[in-house]
Structure 1
């Protein structure tokens, strides 16, 4: 990958010499729960020169412990006539406005300031913050200083004042410590605020040095790939491994974050160390980038991608095609004439749906192949009323087929009968205060409702041979062609383009897509769901559709509706042979 000879100003960040720093120190009463501010001291510095100072005692409206009074020299009588924090805080916020706040052990001081703003109704300023203690821990070696206390660092850098636990004096000493630390890191290539913040958070030099990889990347939507290339051996060719695939609206900005302290994932730190470069693919639209990311992850199975690493690993509930059909949990959809419901990301969810069906319908649960002409002995479930016992001839083939059709309808068309079938049992459990058992049934119904929504989102798009849709983005339009649930083509109509003309050319160059076995889409499940997310956004216009993009009216019930139907009772018909 080629990089420009000189980085742009965006890459350089904010030069340290151009910033104004407000070095602050607080003194407090020292109580664990009632700790309050007794003094604020601050020094405003720019270009190495002091441009202002701020110092005031603060009346904490509480007693100052003797130990704190000895340590700081601030007594209760000294602060009795001092202004309160409500009077002091606005002046300090004005003094520190537009600066970079610096403090020694900054979380202590900024934590007090944040709580003060919240307590007095002031918005807390989003100052950039530097912590001289954190910087010293990274910059200085143990044989230079035994610890990073302010007094120790003041002696090491020979500050002009000696810290004495008074706010202004300690802030003045911290100014000299800050300048001393900046001198040390200047030789390490740290020249901007962003560099210094990263340095204080212990971003490794190796990782930080690779930020030049982002310098030449486009600031557009697309997909990025971290790759590791191994040199060619004597008996083979060079090998290229894709380590990680991601997407972004701004490739350059997103890739740059991997080399800064904003990226905190350990595996990403390891990935950056292993990688030898970054490759990018520019996309016309954000949806195209989303889809391409999923396809590349499926193709390369990158070791550092946790989500979507195995996009084809799905579970389905199948109504078999036996003489007496049953429910089966399977890992793939086949063209065998059976009915499939799903998909499920976890097998436990599929089992919950199967149990939800068994809760409401006396469908057989055994896996034995049954014959309509040779009855066998019934199992215990028949005696309990949980199975209609086709095995012993209690019901015939036609009568059992009616039950199977009701199960099929409950899964694929109308979920209300499944809820109605367990409403009496659920009401009884609640009345008997058997809440754990009732919650189990409710969870199963909830899983059924959530899966039905996913099933219809996917299968309805899979059934449409073609959808051409557009959505306004800025001054133009993003246009997509979807065929059988797969993104076949993308285009962008600019501010001066005719969207219909762009749509026609996008359709003409779209990929030819063959349908998959129903209810599968012609793409991965996640890809079709991303497409559904985009189509369901406000402002999407359907320009052309072939087929019907629709769901059955009562196929999906949300959680509240499920509970209402189950406990409130409703007029949906009860299934035949319900036990």
Structure 2
């Protein structure tokens, strides 16, 4: 399904075979500390001093320090704590000048702070206030690391002053920004030194380190060594070759390594990693291709540790039959019988709820018997309750019954106004009588029906198109191209830099998967796959290159009514 692989960039070719991430000795860290007038930007507190030290490989590359005029009075207790007084900052630059200077100093480095949420939070706040673009800094918090490394036997807490004593920092923290930043540098180096003995040698391992990861799990991190830094699908397998779990990521190596180096809160995943002996990666041209391949592989292998998408065949459809006296029924498969189908529903309960909503409005028969053109049976209790037109005892002629069936069809496939109006009226009446639980039942039924009808209409609009070709510029600047045929992803690729875009797209079309039109709203793929494709096509920035067929939804369709129903929640039983 992918286009021809793009040759790796020069720096990719030069990576060593055992490259596992960014070695800590090669990472430039910018350790920063702030002094402020208080503890919260939400309360209007301001920065009074910025101090930073840039280090790499244990060597100091530079230092940054400036007082900042907060343009407000410094509280007395803050002045006593930090030693920074109002006269000291009177001639200091305002944050509008100090912050750009700091960002220039820190550019290209990993930000480090002790309680990074505080310091980085202040910096980001004022960058936003000044409409400065916040650089895409990676952030490391020495407090978080220390909690995993320094025990209570060594220090009573994880304050900077306590950790500075543990690691014998050359600078004593004193609530001045540069001094505290220097002390934090020593703490950082002390933490890195300890973790190095535990096999943590890269920035990625340092960022995800947790003491909760068992040594046996951490030893398996080599399983990710051969995986590329590229989007794709990964498959965990046991020693018998059985697929245990399938996932997708924009960066295969980084994601897979996180299973062995980060604290996994899902017990099932911990069990899975314990059983895994190999990890296979499938590189994909685009993240969308990876998502689709993941769905197909999960359906094929049905891995025991995947909970979702394992059984796409186990869905329910709402069917309006084609027979002398049509009826609504719930079925598992779409047949080539000229009937109308809506769905698929994610659960049997939602399908039954939608069926109940339609039966509230339209009195078509609910029995499953086959009726001849002129039936002569006894009427059921629903007829006595005036909830069925009772064709079984000849109470209605076929043309009148057919007119009601056409209304049902119109509400399912084009405009559900009749269902919405009647059920909303009932909900309103029940609410006026303070029968709120009963009103909630009607609301849930209407919501299930509208969601299913809207989903079916959107999917049908896409899947009846023989081909849709679209492109979008990705964050990397390259153009990703996808070809969908009858709702199935038939090809995916990225236009190489400098290539003829028109020729590339045409070549991708020529090599795309052949997809034959079949029956139903999702004839060539699972509903989940077609929805992933549809979501990408509807995303901002996507440009349609060609559409073979008519891609359109009913103007008065079910999607128009979705805002009136509440989001999915606990179902109220009748």
TM-score (norm 2): 0.73
Mapped pair 1:133 → 2:143: yes
Give the conservation status (yes or no) of the 8 Å contact 2:236–2:278: yes
Give the conservation status (yes or no) of the 8 Å contact 2:249–2:290: yes
Match of 2:22 among 13, 25, 44: 13
Q: For residues 117 and 362 of structure 1, do their structure 2 counterparts lie closer, same or farther at Cα, with a shift above 3 Å needed?
A: same
Mapped pair 1:154 → 2:155: no
RMSD of the TM alignment (CA)? 4.8
Match of 2:381 in 1: 379
Offset of residue 249 of structure 1? 6.0
Offset of residue 242 of structure 1? 0.8
Match of 1:171 in 2: 181
The within-5 A match list for 1:42-191 is 42-46=51-55, 47-49=58-60, 51-56=62-67, 58-59=69-70, 61-62=72-73, 64-66=75-77, 71-73=81-83, 85=95, 88-191=98-201
Match of 1:236 in 2: none
Match of 1:524 in 2: 526
Offset of residue 478 of structure 1? 6.2
Offset of residue 314 of structure 1? 0.8
Counterparts of 1:534 and 1:8 in 2: how far apart (Å)?
A: 35
The DSSP-based 3-state class of the residue aligned with 1:558 is helix
Offset of residue 410 of structure 1? 3.6
- Deviation per CA, 1:353-387: give whole Å up to 9, x if none: 3244234422234567778554535636655x543
- Between stretches 87-96 and 143-152, larger displacement belongs to 87-96
Counterparts of 2:38 and 2:517 in 1: how far apart (Å)?
A: 74
The DSSP-based 3-state class of the residue aligned with 2:163 is helix
Offset of residue 297 of structure 1? 0.7
Offset of residue 42 of structure 1? 1.9
The within-5 A match list for 1:297-446 is 297-320=298-321, 324-334=325-335, 339-365=340-366, 373-377=375-379, 379=381, 382-383=384-385, 385-391=386-392, 393-412=394-413, 414-415=414-415, 418-420=416-418, 423=421, 426=424, 434=432
- Between stretches 214-223 and 128-137, larger displacement belongs to 214-223
The DSSP-based 3-state class of the residue aligned with 1:354 is helix
Q: How many aligned positions are there? A: 535
Match of 2:4 in 1: none
The runs of 5 or more residues in structure 2 that have no matched partner are 1-12, 565-574
Counterparts of 2:177 and 2:27 in 1: how far apart (Å)?
A: 26
Q: For residues 84 and 359 of structure 1, do their structure 2 counterparts lie closer, same or farther at Cα, with a shift above 3 Å needed?
A: same
Offset of residue 558 of structure 1? 2.8
Counterparts of 2:119 and 2:32 in 1: how far apart (Å)?
A: 11
Counterparts of 1:59 and 1:286 in 2: how far apart (Å)?
A: 45
Offset of residue 302 of structure 1? 1.4
Match of 2:241 in 1: 240
Counterparts of 2:399 and 2:390 in 1: how far apart (Å)?
A: 14
Give the conservation status (yes or no) of the 8 Å contact 1:449–1:559: no
Give the conservation status (yes or no) of the 8 Å contact 2:21–2:203: no
**Bigger radius of gyration:** 1
TM-score (norm 1): 0.72
Counterparts of 2:42 and 2:469 in 1: how far apart (Å)?
A: 58
Mapped pair 1:295 → 2:296: yes
Offset of residue 308 of structure 1? 0.9
Offset of residue 301 of structure 1? 1.3
Give the conservation status (yes or no) of the 8 Å contact 1:103–1:130: yes
The within-5 A match list for 1:564-579 is none
The DSSP-based 3-state class of the residue aligned with 2:241 is strand
Q: For residues 129 and 262 of structure 1, do their structure 2 counterparts lie closer, same or farther at Cα, with a shift above 3 Å needed?
A: farther
